Structure 1
Amino acid sequence: MGKTDNRTMRHLDVLCHRFGGRPIGSAAYDNAAEWAGGKFKEWGMDVLYDEAGQLPVGFNRGPWFGKMTSPQSMHLHFATPSYSAGTRGRVVAPAVREPKDDEEFARMKKRISGAWVLLTPEPEKPQPKRDEPRPSFRERMRQRELEQEKRAARLKKLEDAGALGVIESAKVPIQAMYNKDIHKWKSWQDLPNLCEILLDENQFVLIQRMVSERRRVELEFDIRNYFRMGPVPYHNVIGVIPGSEFPDEYVIISGHLDAYDVATGAVDNGNGVTTSMEAARLIMAAGGKPRRTILVTLWAGEEFGILGAGHWVEKNKDRLPRVSAMFNRDGGPTVPTGIYVTKALWADLEPLSRIINSINPDFPFELKEHKARPRPQGPGGSDSSVFAMHGVPTFWLPTADPRGYDFRYREIWHTESDLYQKSIPEYQEHAAIVRAVLAYGVANLDHLLARDGFYLSEKEAEALRKAAAKKRKKQAGSATF
């Protein structure tokens, strides 16, 4: 059935072309959640709409347009973050560069008022070397907070001087996320007024050069970013296939339903959502009666800080010891090539690997040895991280592009290129089958999966963190000479 009547791409078509980009707080997210829950019901599943939180306001993106009107005409290629200010209609104004220091700011203050300000590009951060120790979670969070505070002060100064908006250089394809100030807002009164425009780096350089030559450059923007009165709740959508023998033990297959709206969220994370949904449909269509409960979960607010999964974990801490496995998909639309398992789990997963290998010989699937790792100290890059913090086995399925589509995840990650056309049907369809086999197989074992060797003990993890901190300190000291 998974090979002859696979509907993964049908689900993705609806998600991308009927709803589009869907940040939490948007009508698109609410509609997509209702649709997904409706499909679960249609397939005979129980459905839970789990309210994971509320936003003080909501956001709906409208169309956007921009061009240079003087000294020459040029269509502008740009984007704006979700929850950022739009223009008040069509606005034509001069472009000026950002002052270099306070003295220059005082000299330019009058010109900044009523202008678009070209922000000075930040120097690129060097990529860490492969063997370089990574800063701890707390260190990374603190560094991020400091950077956000510095940027906020920078923009506030320009806004107070009367700037209409700021324009930043953006690599192509343009990456546009969301205005993180929303986490501080309390009400409608906190909405932003300063436009934040991410402009194609090639056009930015051209305009910047003209401005530096003291030529009058006029830019026209019409950006229709709309807000919704709040509070606006957002929900995890959970399709439940009840366990026939161990209903209070669980297997989770999941992906996050929210997606940035500069594109349609086909890969990040329509990829995880639609393969989860199709895995559920295949199990139900085959008349599956798992011994354990399977939770097919479409998380809310992953892009805003793992909000939906974090809420579920916090609310269900008593259930976490009874979660046998979590299979989360959040990456490229490439095909699963295996699964990392501990020696204690080899006997449980090997029969499932054989089943998967019998389905399509073009996509071999192998068991790989999992080496114990520390539990994360805080939420990481995907929803599985908050489960891993509590010791739940979260399985990583490596993927590949064996047919040579030259897929590159960084080209679509949070960018305007995250479109339906970037998905790869045969990989997506096979991924749905793999996920169905794994979830149903683990749910039908006569025991919960053993957790031995999946994570390091806290003592081992702490020793590893101390060694890494010592190495960073040593490297920082040697860099000063």
Structure 2
Amino acid sequence: MKKLNLLLALPFFAISLTISAQPSDKAKEIASQIVNEANENSQLENLAHELLDVIGPRLVGTPQMKKANDWAVAKYNTWGISAKNEEWGKWRGWERGITHVDLVSPRVVSLSGMQLAWSPSTDKKGITSEVVLIPDVADSLAFSKWLPNVKGKIVMVSMHQLTGRPDYNWEEFATEASFEKMKNERDAHTKAWRERIRKTGYSSRTINAALEKAGAIGIMQSRWSRAFGANKIFSANTKKIPVIDLSLEDYGMLYRMVENGDKPIIKVIAESKELGTVPTFNTIAEIKGSELPNEYVILSAHFDSWDGATGATDNGTGTITMMEAIRILKKVYPNPKRTILVGLWGSEEQGLNGSRAFVEDHPDIVEGVQALFNQDNGTGRVVRLSGQGFLNAYDYLGKWLEAVPKEITDEIETTFPGVPGGGGSDYASFVAAGAPAFSLSSLSWSYWNYTWHTNLDTYDKIVFDDVRNNAILTAILAYMASEAPEKTSRTKSVLPLNSRTGEQRTWPTPRSPQRDGGKLD
């Protein structure tokens, strides 16, 4: 089991200790009621179904994002919790439509692919074209001379993978010599591809625009996530032609066909709608404090997602954790001492925009924050909690954790005072403003390879037992923070040296959000 640890400011060493503060009888009773409600009347599965299966992905600027905002407000209202959608900015409006990719020559088969976010649309007839590769040229001048060859063609812009098997699969079944040979060949292949792109005079970020300008009618890519069946699905960066992500398997097949002179022809239908500029929102729920209404406990999760799948573990699980926690609190603790807010933030994926806007727009709330608890990195049970650089964070977090069932806290490794997070998720927006905000960091469950921003981030990847534990943890911490006799300390620790640069670390500073985003240059 992992122990609760204390990381001292000077020197920064972790040492084990036992928390001695015991929760009151009232706290024990409320914690028991929270556990019972979470286990006997859980709404997590239903929330996940409605949000993920029915509404689906929540890309900023899409109708599905607005549907999710409205759904959450309505759901809160059914629990007797007041809620609102608060506009913080505008974004490029876009709606995904049908994507269909077919190989039509030298044989006929449907391929596994999807257009990237904000991809321009084809017409309903689609585009049909021979597929070509970026050549291995001598230099940028040679590439410029070749560029006219893309006119009327679909261009493949990604390296093909030498193996579609993840390393763990090779490690289990291959001989040691074979595994090492594969890794060496892959490293050399990757280096050669990067050099191929470099010699064009463009980067992987800028080459699509050059191909579009030269007359290409479509871009084909494949961004493998090093896991069976998983690709990263991000955004297109073209103005008029579609960008399609193809599965590793189908992309590799096409690549080999081109290399061997088989002249593959594909048909692509990629329908989408441009919706102009649309407003974008944070969804804020509130249970008003009965004694200290201007002090706040905030439950935090980003609401938006990429749209390669349905955003189940990034961040549907964080969203439903916070919604379930406040539902439970409303039932067993309806008159909190301090105000309890839930912030479901918009456009986290583009740079913490929703939470940064909230911090910028509500300095009074930020000043009154007692504690913020954020969950964002997958479906796993919480296993790490840092003091985020607040010198006295242990004094209160340690007491609050004592009210949480031991079977939950035994899994959690704590670091005090820790160092402040400069980004990564929405708690960092509040930490930068000096508010005590904490990340409830989860066990991986192969998050980075299989579900983070991939086409596989779906309902079936949720581990509901772990999410239920996280809702219990969050609700009890929120109750304890609300009932605490004193406001939490914001004293900052002396930060350690940066191990990479050797320089003194400094506290992050607030950054303004992008409030008018998604436009093409």
Common topology (TM > 0.5)? yes
For residues 421 and 204 of structure 1, do their structure 2 counterparts lie closer, same or farther at Cα, with a shift above 3 Å needed? same
Deviations 1:156-205 (A, max 9, x none): 221122101111232141111224x6xxxxxxxxx821221222233323
1:83-232 mapped onto 2 (5 Å cutoff): 83-89=118-124, 90-99=126-135, 100=137, 101-105=139-143, 108-119=146-157, 121=159, 150-151=203-204, 153-171=206-224, 172-179=229-236, 192-228=239-275, 230-232=276-278
1:34-433 mapped onto 2 (5 Å cutoff): 34-55=70-91, 57-89=92-124, 90-99=126-135, 100=137, 101-105=139-143, 108-119=146-157, 121=159, 150-151=203-204, 153-171=206-224, 172-179=229-236, 192-228=239-275, 230-337=276-383, 339-341=385-387, 344-357=392-405, 361=407, 364=410, 368-374=414-420, 376=422, 380-400=423-443, 407-433=446-472
- Aligned partner of 2:232: which letter? Q
- Paired residues of 1:79 and 1:174 also in contact (CA < 8 A): no
- Aligned partner of 1:326: which letter? L
Q: Structure 1 CA distance, aligned partners of 2:369 and 2:430?
A: 9
Aligned-residue Cα RMSD (Å) equals: 2.8
Q: Structure 1 CA distance, aligned partners of 2:90 and 2:75?
A: 24
- Paired residues of 2:65 and 2:304 also in contact (CA < 8 A): yes
Deviations 1:346-389 (A, max 9, x none): 4533443233216xx4773557341342563xxx2211111111
Q: Structure 1 CA distance, aligned partners of 2:491 and 2:303?
A: 32
Deviation for aligned residue 1:335: 1.2
- Aligned partner of 2:89: which letter? G
Q: Structure 2 CA distance, aligned partners of 1:92 and 1:255?
A: 42
Q: Structure 2 CA distance, aligned partners of 1:98 and 1:465?
A: 37
Q: Structure 1 CA distance, aligned partners of 2:349 and 2:393?
A: 32
Deviation for aligned residue 1:245: 1.0
Deviation for aligned residue 1:430: 1.7
Deviation for aligned residue 1:214: 2.9
3-state secondary structure, aligned to 1:269? helix
- Aligned partner of 2:152: which letter? G
Q: Structure 1 CA distance, aligned partners of 2:206 and 2:443?
A: 43
Moved over 6 A (4+): none
For residues 298 and 103 of structure 1, do their structure 2 counterparts lie closer, same or farther at Cα, with a shift above 3 Å needed? same
- Paired residues of 1:353 and 1:365 also in contact (CA < 8 A): no
3-state secondary structure, aligned to 1:6? coil
With the length of structure 1 as denominator, give the TM-score of the two structures.
Answer: 0.80
Q: Structure 2 CA distance, aligned partners of 1:103 and 1:7?
A: 61
Q: Which residue is equivalent to 2:519?
A: none
- Paired residues of 1:320 and 1:390 also in contact (CA < 8 A): yes
3-state secondary structure, aligned to 1:333? coil
Q: Structure 2 CA distance, aligned partners of 1:93 and 1:236?
A: 43
Which of 488, 491, 498 is the equivalent residue of 1:452? 491
With the length of structure 2 as denominator, give the TM-score of the two structures.
Answer: 0.75
3-state secondary structure, aligned to 2:486? coil
Q: Structure 2 CA distance, aligned partners of 1:59 and 1:389?
A: 32
Q: Structure 1 CA distance, aligned partners of 2:205 and 2:465?
A: 45
**1:33 matched to 2:90:** no
3-state secondary structure, aligned to 1:395? strand
3-state secondary structure, aligned to 1:319? helix
3-state secondary structure, aligned to 2:404? helix
Q: Which residue is equivalent to 1:19?
A: 55
